[in-house]
Amino acid sequence: MAELLTLTDESLVGAPITLTNCDREPIHLPGLIQPYGFLLCLDEQTRRVVQASANTRELLGLAPEELLGHGLERLLGPGALAEVEALWPTLTEAARLLGARLDHVAGQPFYKLVLHRYDQLLWVEGEPVHHASTSTSAFDLPSLNLALGRLLSADTLLDLCQGAAEQVRELIGFDRVAVYRFAPDDSGHVLAEALRPGLPPWLGLHYPATDIPKQARAMYLKNWLRFIADVDYAPVPLVPPLHPRTARPPDMTYAVLRSVSPIHLEYLRNMGSGATMTISLIQEGKLWGMITCHHQSPRLVSYELRDLCQFLGKTLSALLGSKEQQDQQAYQARIHLAQARLLEHVSTGENFVAGLHRHTPTIRDVFDCGGAAICLADDINCIGATPSVAQIDSLVAWLRTHTDQPVFHTDSYARLNPAGAALQATASGILAVALAPEQGEYLLWFRPEQARTVTWAGRDEKTPRLVNGEVFLSPRQSFEAWKQAVEHTATPWLPLELEAAREIRQHLVEVRLKVFNELQARAASLVRLNVELERSNDELDAFAYVASHDLKEPLRGIHNYAVFLLEDYATQLDAEGVSRLETLVRLSQRMEALIEGLLQLSRVGRLELTLAETNLNDTLAGVLDLLQPRFEQTHTTVTVAGPLPIIHGSEVGLREVFSNLITNAMRYNEQPEKRVAVGVAPAAARGPRGTGNPADFHVLCVQDNGIGIAPRHFENVFKLFKRLHAPEKYGGGTGAGLAIAKKMVEKHGGELWVESVPGEGSTFFFSLSKLL
């Protein structure tokens, strides 16, 4: 990506090539320049030329020897000379640009003069304006305003970098402009790019740290921009090559035309680049990254446009911190929102454990992670991509032994525990919140390896070779992407994530303490409630006795006397009187049936089930025998898809369930041929409360081809005395049958529910617990 170096230290000839070798190259002292301009070095005291580039004869018609010992009066007329003289006292290493006509040069060409002061020299670099035909030079303030406006309005760091890449490419017209960011280990990757259609993307490619040696990084901190107009240029030496006073090449750190290492040029040619420009991105005095620009053919960009690109680079550098902070704040806000919703579920739900994983957001959604696990009360609930339950058990055991921190985190569990190597695909990184570590109760978040593979831009290999007595490091000959494994390391946990984990732990500790106190209070009140319940049951038994004797007896008397009146006095009454007596008889009969239904439901609720091994096939057979006359009367056919299971339950109670469901199937049916099917329900059948799991429940069903039930009545049909039709329709009835069946099923640990389509029949499902 940046400069690779020529090794000229004689002590290194024949020695193994290492990164240390590379870091010793004095790249700021090449003694050479690029040929698209000329360089004059003036003594800052005498302001006389002490060194000149060897191409002055070609560009100015004056040999270097004709310029040495003279001032700029050999080139400039009085007006331009006065302008330069006025600038000398104010010069620093920061470049100043001056457009000047070289009055004393044949043809009086117009040059852009770039001036700065450094290394006790006054530097004058000239770029001929007549090359503007091959350069990109036009720009305007509205374009600059648009460019800055886009950078300032970027919502995220990636948007900011992408906008900068596109703006720079639009300004200079290069084939590719990429924004490259350094990692803590000095490697880096491309996070944004703008490129000509048809070029292979670099987005996401990683580059090793050795691509940019230490001294090159130091140079990029000092000089924001490096430009190479033609990678195939022939470097131009200085005359004389050494400064007469210092006996060394001048320090070209801030020189625009400074030549680069032949190795770097070979590197660029291998990349297919014909011209390049690199702009430093600096944050808080450190090299954050670079804007790197590549063109497949030579391209001279005017100094003004290069300066404008440098301005955009400095603007981008100034915005990096705020955009990174903005991204962090956005992530922090997302964490806080998810955390608040999660803790609301935990605080308001009946089961705080369910609040952690049954609702959205779950604990996994709080952070950017692959998965999470809740280890509480000898139970492990996993969400997302996690290790196996056995591996989580081993991890919890390791945590209990090796850490007493309330919040533990690592981005490489394998470095701490060799057994963690088996977890790298899901849990290279671990964040653990200890709730009750002595009982092995933790909340765990997992992150996989940061990247199972990183795409490198060519292998990080250099082969030593000897050329004319100098040792070179050959750059990579192929830039095809290859994969380098990154083992056992996850994305590190951020401080804001650790703080959120602490807050979650604190809240859960408080919730559990509250639940514990509530349980103690409830336990204390249960004794009182049991006493009151026993008294209530006694009173309920007394009420049942009164209802069955004291209420039913007078009701029978009313019924009987009404019948007597009809028998003895019907001829003496008019039609209206007879009708009223018949209504009295009918209402008294219905009232007696309602009281009987209420008593049955009361008995079911208070009944202690007599449990025994019950063969449901035999239970159902008994019910069908009892109902056989009604089947013949109503033209009903019952089929049994057996065999039915054998359970531990109450045969009397289950007989009543079957009887009620089959009787209703016959009653609410208008088909000439009524069909009822009884059998085991499909494995997928689940009740409203989620029961019906084949592992814990038997699920049976009774299906008919009757009138069906609208979905809005699915709950009402199970309410006591609730009928959906007039009392005289479908054979009457009190509406207590389904309520009694539901109560009996619940006594067996299950639930009763219905699925139906009006006009297409109904299917009643009931689950029976296997644990009774």
Q: How confident is the model at residue 471 (pLDDT cuts 50, 70, 90)?
A: very low
pLDDT (0 to 100) of residue 622:
87
Beta strands across the sheet bearing 407-410: 379-384, 371-376, 441-447, 429-436, 407-410
pLDDT (0 to 100) of residue 132:
43
Strand partners, 444: 373, 432
The continuous run of DSSP H or E covering 355 comes out as helix 352-357
* 89-134 confidence digits (pLDDT tens): 999 988 898 888 898 888 889 899 999 999 999 999 999 886 444 4
Helix (H, G, I), strand (E, B) or coil at 680: strand
Tokens at 48, concatenated: 């006389």
Ranges of beta strands (E only) in 635-733 are 636-641, 646-649, 674-680, 697-704
| Residue 12 reports pLDDT greater than 50 | no
Cα separation, 343 vs 338, whole angstroms: 9
Tokens at 146, concatenated: 């648009």
Whole-number average pLDDT of the chain: 80
pLDDT (0 to 100) of residue 547:
58
pLDDT (0 to 100) of residue 542:
55
Give percent above pLDDT 70 in the chain.
Answer: 77
Torsion of CA 409, 411, 417, 420, to 10 degrees: 110
Q: Rg (Cα) of the chain, in Å, rounded? A: 45
Strand partners, 589: none
Cα separation, 389 vs 24, whole angstroms: 53
Is 342 in contact with 363 (CB distance < 8 Å)?
yes
Is 321 in contact with 214 (CB distance < 8 Å)?
no
Whether the domain at 6-28+137-327 and the domain at 33-133 fall into the same CATH topology:
yes
The predicted model gives 465-483 an average pLDDT of: 47
Q: 240: cis peptide before it, omega within 30°?
A: yes
H helix count then E strand count, the chain: 19, 32
Task: Look at residues 298, 308, 275 and name the one whose alpha carbon lies nearest to residue 138.
Answer: 308
* Residue 12: Cβ within 10 Å count: 18
| Residue 407 reports pLDDT greater than 90 | yes
pLDDT (0 to 100) of residue 56:
94
751: Cβ contacts below 8 Å, ≥ 6 apart: 687, 688, 689, 691, 742, 745, 766, 767
Upper half-sphere CA count for residue 680 (Cβ side, 13 Å): 13
The predicted model gives 717-744 an average pLDDT of: 66
Strand partners, 443: 374, 433
DSSP-derived pairing of the beta strands 674-680 and 636-641: parallel
Give percent above pLDDT 90 in the chain.
Answer: 35
Is 678 in contact with 701 (CB distance < 8 Å)?
yes
Place of tokens 């259609």: 197
Task: Look at residues 95, 177, 130 and name the one whose alpha carbon lies nearest to residue 300.
Answer: 130
| Residue 670 reports pLDDT greater than 50 | yes
Cα–Cα–Cα angle for 41, 43, 48, rounded to 5 degrees: 80
What's the N-to-C CA distance of the chain in angstroms? 73
The predicted model gives 419-426 an average pLDDT of: 90
Q: 448: cis peptide before it, omega within 30°?
A: no
Is 357 in contact with 377 (CB distance < 8 Å)?
no
* 359-385 confidence digits (pLDDT tens): 888 889 999 999 999 998 778 999 999
Is 582 in contact with 573 (CB distance < 8 Å)?
no
- The CATH number of 610-769 is 3.30.565.10
Most confident of 295-299, 352-356, 741-745: 295-299
Cα separation, 698 vs 615, whole angstroms: 13
Q: Where are the domains of the chain?
A: 6-28+137-327, 33-133, 494-606, 610-769
Tokens at 358, concatenated: 């049954």
Q: Which residue has the higher pLDDT, 300 or 746?
A: 300
pLDDT (0 to 100) of residue 695:
72
Tokens at 247, concatenated: 């006996």
Task: Look at residues 745, 754, 721 and name the one whose alpha carbon lies nearest to residue 657.
Answer: 745
Q: Which residue has the higher pLDDT, 772 or 612?
A: 612
pLDDT (0 to 100) of residue 691:
65
Is 471 in contact with 464 (CB distance < 8 Å)?
yes
Question: With helix as H, strand as E and coil as C, how does 24-54 read?
Answer: CCCCCCCCEECCCCEEEEEECCCCCEEEEEC
Place of tokens 């531990």: 648
Tokens at 562, concatenated: 């009404």
User: What residue type is assigned to position 91 of the chain?
Assistant: L
Cα separation, 222 vs 39, whole angstroms: 20
Task: Look at residues 120, 114, 113, 99 and name the one whose alpha carbon lies nearest to residue 43.
Answer: 120
* 505-558 confidence digits (pLDDT tens): 888 888 777 765 655 666 656 666 666 766 665 565 555 555 555 565 666 667
Is 158 in contact with 323 (CB distance < 8 Å)?
no
737: Cβ contacts below 8 Å, ≥ 6 apart: 597, 660, 663, 664
DSSP state of 17: P
Q: For residue 690, is it left (φ>0), alpha (ψ between -120 and 50) or beta?
A: left
- The widest CA-to-CA distance across the chain, in whole angstroms, is 153
Cα separation, 720 vs 153, whole angstroms: 65
229 φ, ψ (degrees, to nearest 5): -80, -30
Q: How confident is the model at residue 653 (pLDDT cuts 50, 70, 90)?
A: confident
DSSP-derived pairing of the beta strands 482-485 and 453-456: antiparallel
* 253-311 confidence digits (pLDDT tens): 899 999 987 877 887 888 889 999 999 999 988 999 999 999 999 999 999 899 999 99
The predicted model gives 44-54 an average pLDDT of: 94
Angstrom CA distances, 623 to 442, 590, 613, 659, stand at 53, 25, 18, 6
756: Cβ contacts below 8 Å, ≥ 6 apart: 708, 709, 710, 711, 714, 762, 763
| Residue 72 reports pLDDT greater than 70 | yes
| Residue 246 reports pLDDT greater than 70 | yes
pLDDT (0 to 100) of residue 485:
59
* Residue 384: Cβ within 10 Å count: 16
Is 623 in contact with 658 (CB distance < 8 Å)?
yes
Pick the CATH number of 6-28+137-327 from 3.30.450.40, 3.40.630.30, 3.40.50.450, 1.10.10.10: 3.30.450.40
Question: With helix as H, strand as E and coil as C, how does 87-156 read?
Answer: HHHHCCCCCEEEEEECCCCCCCCEEEEEEEEECCEEEEEEEEHHHHHHEECCCCHHHHHHHHHHHHHCCC
The predicted model gives 138-155 an average pLDDT of: 76
Cα separation, 525 vs 517, whole angstroms: 12
Upper half-sphere CA count for residue 463 (Cβ side, 13 Å): 6
Ranges of beta strands (E only) in 475-611 are 482-485
Cα separation, 108 vs 693, whole angstroms: 95
Helix (H, G, I), strand (E, B) or coil at 196: coil
Instruction: Enumerate long-range contacts of 322-327, CB under 8 Å, 24 or more apart.
Output: 323/154, 323/156, 323/157, 323/160, 324/157, 326/155, 326/156, 326/157, 327/156, 327/157
| Residue 2 reports pLDDT greater than 70 | no
Instruction: Report the length, in residues, of the chain.
Output: 772
- The CATH number of 33-133 is 3.30.450.20
